[in-house]
Amino acid sequence: MIEVNELTKRYGDKLAVDHLSFTIPQGVVTGFLGPNGAGKSTTMRMMLDLDRPTSGTVRIDGKKYGQLHQPLKYIGALLEAKAVHPGRSAYNHLLWLAASNKIPTRRVDEVLSLVGLTAVAKKRSGGFSLGMGQRLGIAAALLGDPRILMFDEPVNGLDPEGIVWVRTLMKTLATEGRTVFVSSHLMSEMALTAEHLIVIGRGRLLANMPMNQFIDENSRSFVRLRTPDPEKLLDAFSGAGITATLDGDGAYEVEDGDMARIGDLAAAHGVALHELSPQRASLEEAFMRMTAESVEYQTDAAPQWGSEWKKES
Ligand SMILES: Nc1ncnc2c1ncn2[C@@H]1O[C@H](COP(=O)(O)OP(=O)(O)OP(=O)(O)O)[C@@H](O)[C@H]1O
């Protein structure tokens, strides 16, 4: 169990994390989202005691990180920066970590095999590609078989096969009842991986809810339909008080439409339908809409995903 309470970090006059409080659920993958500079990495670093909070607390199973005996057995993490000496082999790096946390040596071979690095385990890690470095970081996170895992941009540098592998791994770890906390800029990937979301903007909590709820609350839903007889259908709609608008593609959209009612109405008027489908926004659209509508974070330029937010301070 990991609890963040009123966590705050100030760098000079820059408030990077602003009274952030949340508890991360167990047994599901939780996505950690926010635009560039929102404070995700700073929050994760403070959770791992790599950065000291200005105020507020992080508790891991009720304890401060520094109070954990052999911390790798409680929490494993992959942070963006590679923390491996380039001259050291993957095997020796993991062996050193294992020894410092009294983890049996055989576990090193296990995690190397799990992440697919067995063949290159004795090579110096300085020659590793970005993707191999990510795999080594994931191996280190898994070394102590911890109940809590944190990954900052884990699919960075991975090829499509590697991305699917990471997605499957995270879901499996969550299914085992672990807490899996992951940040990523890749919204489509996050949509496929996470069930729960914690969203921050400018260091503040914007949302903490299941993925489905987040998309529902921050997007418009509509029914799309196509018919070879639009005039007749639109007549039937106007009699029933339904408004349909033509999209740019020859289809009609009914905002918050009830599919069954529309289908029944079309049938009652003898109108053929060539399409009748519910439409829901993607996570990316929901995210953009939420941040754009968030007056507190509104700037004179529309915020864009993946770009630095304009700073007013
Ligand atoms: N060591 C530091 N000194 C000064 N400012 C910092 C430091 N670390 C982070 N910041 C600032 O704090 C804010 C939050 O940064 P952080 O890296 O945590 O955001 P992030 O959400 O992880 O961003 P990204 O998505 O770009 O990785 C940014 O404005 C950043 O410039």
Residues 157 and 191 in one domain: yes
Q: Tell me, what's the pLDDT at 82?
A: 61
Looking at the chain, the whole-number percentage of residues with pLDDT higher than 90 is: 63
Residues 180 and 49 in one domain: yes
**Residue 307 located in a structural domain:** no
Residues 198 and 240 in one domain: no
Whether residue 235 is predicted with pLDDT greater than 90 in this model: the reply is yes
Q: Tell me, what's the pLDDT at 294?
A: 45
Residues 149 and 88 in one domain: yes
Q: What is the DSSP string of the chain?
A: -EEEEEEEEEETTEEEEEEEEEEEPSSSEEEEE--TTSSHHHHHHHHTTSS--SEEEEEETTB-GGG-SSGGGTEEEE-SS--S-TTSBHHHHHHHHHHHTT--THHHHHHHHHTT-GGGTTSBGGG--HHHHHHHHHHHHHTT--SEEEEESTTTT--HHHHHHHHHHHHHHHHTT-EEEEE-S-HHHHHHH-SEEEEEETTEEEEEEEHHHHHHHTS--EEEEE-S-HHHHHHHHHHHT---EE-TTS-EEEET--HHHHHHHHHHTT---SEEEEE---HHHHHHHHHHH-GGG--SSPP-TTSPPPP--
Residues 17 and 134 in one domain: yes
Q: Last residue of some domain: 210, 228, 248?
A: 210
Q: Tell me, what's the pLDDT at 124?
A: 86
**Residue 287 located in a structural domain:** no
Query: How many domains does the chain fold into?
Result: 2
* Residue range 167-216, pLDDT digits in tens: 999 999 999 999 999 998 888 899 999 999 999 988 999 999 999 999 88
Give, for ligand 1, the residue of 10, 41, 153 to mutate: max count of ligand atoms closer than 8 Å to Cβ: 41
Residues 125 and 264 in one domain: no
**Residue 124 located in a structural domain:** yes
**CATH number where 241 lies:** 3.30.70.980
Q: Last residue of some domain: 210, 231, 266?
A: 210
**Residue 306 located in a structural domain:** no
Closest residue CA from atom 7 of ligand 1:
11
**Residue 113 located in a structural domain:** yes
Residues 68 and 8 in one domain: yes
* Residue range 20-43, pLDDT digits in tens: 999 999 999 999 998 888 899 999
**Residue 289 located in a structural domain:** no
Looking at the chain, the whole-number percentage of residues with pLDDT higher than 70 is: 92
**10 in contact with ligand 1, CB cutoff 6 A:** no
**Residue 313 located in a structural domain:** no
**Residue 129 located in a structural domain:** yes
Residues 238 and 170 in one domain: no
Q: Last residue of some domain: 159, 182, 210?
A: 210
**210 in contact with ligand 1, CB cutoff 6 A:** no
ipTM of this predicted structure:
0.96
* Residue range 151-160, pLDDT digits in tens: 999 988 888 9
Closest residue CA from atom 3 of ligand 1:
11
Residues 35 and 110 in one domain: yes
Residues 12 and 90 in one domain: yes
**93 in contact with ligand 1, CB cutoff 6 A:** no
Mean pLDDT of the chain: 88
**CATH number where 61 lies:** 3.40.50.300
Residues 235 and 200 in one domain: no
Range of the domain at 22: 2-210
Residues 177 and 92 in one domain: yes
